Amino acid sequence: MHWYTAYGLSIASELLLTNLPPASNKSDVVISLGNVKNLPVTSDASAAEDIRVTGDEIWCSSKGVARFLVKEGRELIVDPEPTADEANLRSTVLELGLPLLLVQRGSLVLHASSVAINDVAFILCGDSGSGKSALAFALYTLGCALVADDIVSIRFRARIPEVAPSYPEIGMWPDVLEYFGHDPVRFKKQDQTSEKRVYPVQGRFHHESLPLGGVYVLNNGSDTKIEPISKRQALRELDEQSWCICKSENPVDSTHFFQYADLVRTAEIRRLTVPRSLKRIFEVAHMVRAEAVGD
């Protein structure tokens, strides 16, 4: 058994998850290898991923990689396909299985990145390709600490949102690494199905949960600007980026709606328009950091 920490949880895992920081031999969550039967509802055989919810269990499959069973927010059973690549299996556990477990534990999980500015977490969310990781890396380069990349877990204490740290790495496309002066060849691929590379964060990773200071919803445009959005629009944006949509048949959805409301009530949600070109990424990063610290 291997022992790790991520998202504020102690994890005992039969799988080697070298991405995660090591931890002592105690566990909130157990990741084990086992037999997972086919999904309880007939699924589309052509789908890359399929997710079903039955009571306190979540069944999911990633075609050609593994089937997963998530139980009561405490156990993740992994049934790898015989031909599954080790790197693909590891990334699928971290990017599919673990987020579903976090949802089951009552966290609000967003497809987003997060950085710490003056010990307050700020979330960068938006559609794939909007520049979340690139902006997070630019802010990291300017001295901000990374909190999470790609998957952000928000917990609520007395209805106040806190962002839990994930693990110290950022997924970067080769052209983005090159723009920041790094040779992509020096960094391993996230998995064998993607050219995205793993950039290990050293020194500036925030290991403790942080209060949420604000959320930036990224959109691409010709100009750079930050503007407020209505609470109604903020709720819609959060719903679009939330992992709870995969549980639309489960009563937990109402819980997530109230979590959206608490988040909008306690944190500023703004739209951040950024050009697609990386040439202005540091301009955007300076603008975000200045607003976050109140300059």
Q: What would the two tokens of residue 174 be?
A: 């080769």
Distance in Å from the first CA to the final CA of the chain: 48
Are both 130 and 254 inside the same structural domain?
A: yes
251 pLDDT more than 50? no
- Is residue 42 predicted with pLDDT exceeding 60? no
Region 40-63: mean pLDDT is 71
The confidence score (pLDDT) of residue 48 equals 57
**75 and 121 together in one domain:** no
β partners of residue 156: 161
For 193, residues 6+ apart whose C-beta sits below 8 A from its C-beta are: 88
**How does the average pLDDT of the chain come out, rounded?**
87
Q: 93 and 216 in one domain?
A: no
* Placement of tokens 């952000």 in the chain: 152
* Mean per-residue pLDDT, 163-173: 94
Burial category of 233 from C-beta neighbours within 10 Å (exposed 0-12, middle 13-18, buried 19 and up):
middle
Question: d(Cα 7, Cα 28) in Å, to the nearest integer?
Answer: 11
In this predicted structure, what is the pLDDT of residue 222? 83
| The token pair that represents 229 in the structure block | 């959005």
115 shares its domain with 218: yes
Q: Say which residue the tokens 């209805």 belong to.
A: 159
> Do 146 and 274 fall into the same domain?
yes
- 179 plus 234 within the same structural domain: yes
Structural domain of residue 205, as residue ranges?
A: 109-293
- Report how far apart, in Å, the C-alpha atoms of 14 and of each of 10, 84, 228, 277 are: 14, 16, 46, 42
Angle, helices 132-141/281-293, rounded to nearest 10 degrees: 70
Indicate the pLDDT class of residue 158, thresholds 50, 70 and 90.
confident
Same domain, residue pair 95 and 164: no
Number of domains in the chain: 2
Out of 88, 105, 122, a domain closes at 105
Most confident stretch, 5-9, 63-67, 125-129:
5-9
Asked if 100 and 119 sit in the same domain, the reply is no
Q: What is the pLDDT of residues 6-35, one digit of tens each?
A: 999 999 999 999 889 988 878 899 999 999
Confidence of residue 252 (pLDDT cuts 50, 70, 90): very low
Are 96 and 169 in the same domain? no
Q: Is 150 left (phi over 0), alpha (psi -120 to 50) or beta?
A: left
Q: Name which of 266, 262, 271 is nearest 216 in CA terms.
A: 271
Co-location of 126 and 58 in the same domain: no
> pLDDT above 70 covers what percent of the chain?
92
Helices (H), the chain: 86-92, 98-104, 132-141, 174-179, 231-241, 252-266, 281-293
Burial category of 12 from C-beta neighbours within 10 Å (exposed 0-12, middle 13-18, buried 19 and up): middle
pLDDT at 248 exceeding the cut of 60: no
At 254 the pLDDT is 65
The lowest-confidence range among 133-147, 194-208, 242-256, 263-277 is 242-256
| Reported pTM | 0.89
Where a domain ends, among 47, 80, 105?
105
Structure tokens at 54: 């039955």
Same domain, 96 and 117: no
pLDDT band at 249 (very low <50, low <70, confident <90, very high): very low
**CATH code of 115's domain:** 3.40.50.300
**Does residue 149 surpass a pLDDT of 60?**
yes
Q: Which residue has the higher pLDDT, 158 or 178?
A: 178
Phi, psi of 191 (to 5 degrees): -160, 180
Q: How far apart are CA 97 and CA 60, in angstroms?
A: 8
193-211 tens-digit pLDDT: 788 999 999 889 999 999 9
Structural domain ending residue among the three candidates 79, 105, 131 = 105
Shared-domain flag, residues 24 and 90: yes
